[in-house]
Amino acid sequence: MESDGLQKTSYFYLFKQRKNYMKHYSGTFFLILMLLKFPSLAVIQLPALVSDHMVLQQKSTVNIWGKARPGETIEVTASWNDIRYQTTANPDSTWLIPLQTSEAGGPFTLQIKGENTITLSDILLGEVWLCSGQSNMEKPVGIQPGQKPVFNYEEEIAHANYPFLRFFHVPRKMVPDVQTDVESTWQRCTPQSIDSLKFSAAGYFFGRRLHQALDVPIGLLDATWGGTRIEAWTSVEGFKKVPSLDTINRMLESGNLSVEKHAPTLLYNGMIAPLTHFSIKGCIWYQGESNLMDVNNGLAYEDRMKALIYGWRETWQNEKLPFYYVQIAPYRYFGDRPDRVQSADELPLIWEAQTRSLAIPHTGMIVITDLVDDLSDIHPRNKQDVGLRLANLALNKTYGKKDIVCQGPLFRSMEIRKNKAILAFDSVDKGLRAKAGKQLTFFTIAGEDRIFVPARAYIRNNRVVVWNREVKKPVAVRFAWDEEAQPNLFNAAGLPAVPFRTDSW
């Protein structure tokens, strides 16, 4: 809008000087008159997402949109089916045309015609996913100041040559009003682009796995910002859907929002809202560390997850939009940052909130307690397996590849037999395993006094038996209820068990 205003000011100035220009520069004055008759908005304008090299969601309805002169007829023709679609620009200059896409393939072209014609080329049809969250999703494949790089990063970059894998990196933007566009471009996956874009490593490894498993083009949208809380990524509509967040709703209604990272909706407005016309298959999410350190109420994260997911699904008009996320990693929050974290229980509580969020339909969660190389580094370096596990969730749950195991053991029930607790699990695959054949770790048990003590545990008949000789009448068990927990209970597919507690004390 600023550039339009400058153009109008300059045109007005030249018009006031028309006598001098007519006398000395009649040709120039004629050009100015033409510009006044056909202002810049008569030229079709497209958002950054609708451009060369983009990936459109296959076998679905996708939107092509932009701006033009009010009342202008817009015609769009796609080379994959040669069907012509038409619409008329609205009084506010906006227009949108839904297109039907065919099965995966390309490259294709797309022609948008009005008073001018734009031809987009090298368009692919495939699968499109949004990758979002804070620094652990933002962490790139290559070097980032202040962080250790992902494992084997030099070789990963050198081999990142996948012309049918495309990136769209959303720049950081924090604003109080909903935006309609961003400044970015689609890029093919090359060693140069993945390094220069600083594209999400977890997102890249996720997309690479999908591309190799499905043999279709993959488009990835990277909307990430380190150190941010979930509230900033959530829409107004999302907050309204969760009654327990009424305090945030009242704050939004009052308009008393400070412009900082953490204020509700600000990152949604600047980095997510401009993407919501663009059809996507699903979302992957890696966030929670900032909420843990700033809010110190881990269980509150569950309702915030609901608001985020329900809000995004409403704006994308897809109540079944897949949403797969990472349970945040073990880290010495209270141990290393007692000034920001009040208790060593805060991490297990947010783990519990993330596990509870699995009750939201069409979601999935991966556990990464085994992927941490340094408990004093909040950014685990093994993003390869993070991406792989997220992709396996999508392959199993979204693409129907049920032979791919995507979930580790999940607590189902407890039975007390004398002085022992017998635990049953779902998602055991072909059986429970103690990694490296060792005794099971990070189990604790409590009696009626509610005092938890370390417990011995072993696997028997695909169940876990837990006991401590000093606890004669056990009533509760906890597993991995420790911010430094890196337990060794897995299933046969090599996926770690989900941390849990049987009590609600």
Span 322-349, pLDDT tens digits: 999 999 999 999 999 999 999 999 999 9
Distance CA 204, CA 296 (A): 31
For the segment 415-464, what is each residue's pLDDT rounded down to a tens digit?
A: 999 999 999 999 999 999 999 888 999 999 999 999 999 999 999 999 99
Nearest to 346 by CA among 360, 330, 357, 326: 330
Lowest mean pLDDT among 33-37, 107-111, 235-239: 33-37
Residue 17 dihedral angles phi and psi, to the nearest 5°:
-95, 20
The answer to whether residue 397 scores a pLDDT higher than 70 is: yes
Lowest mean pLDDT among 8-12, 16-20, 51-55, 452-456: 8-12
Tokens of 293: 């350190």
State residue 72's pLDDT score.
97
Tokens of 20: 């001098």
Nearest to 346 by CA among 483, 484, 498, 228: 483
State residue 88's pLDDT score.
97
Mean pLDDT score, 369-390 = 97
Angle at 348 between CA 345 and CA 352, to 5 degrees: 130
Residue 476 dihedral angles phi and psi, to the nearest 5°:
-155, 150
Q: Is residue 365 a contact partner of residue 406, using CB atoms and an 8 Å limit?
A: no
State residue 42's pLDDT score.
67
Confidence of residue 294 (pLDDT cuts 50, 70, 90): confident
Q: What is the mean pLDDT of the chain?
A: 91
The answer to whether residue 154 scores a pLDDT higher than 80 is: yes
The answer to whether residue 10 scores a pLDDT higher than 80 is: no
**Which residue segments constitute the domains of the chain, with CATH numbers given?**
2-37 (no CATH), 55-125 (2.60.40), 126-397 (3.40.50.1110), 410-501 (no CATH)
Confidence of residue 257 (pLDDT cuts 50, 70, 90): confident
State residue 437's pLDDT score.
80
Strands (E), 170-312: 186-189, 218-224, 282-286
State residue 140's pLDDT score.
97
The answer to whether residue 31 scores a pLDDT higher than 80 is: no
Q: Is the pTM of this model over 0.85?
A: yes
State residue 2's pLDDT score.
34
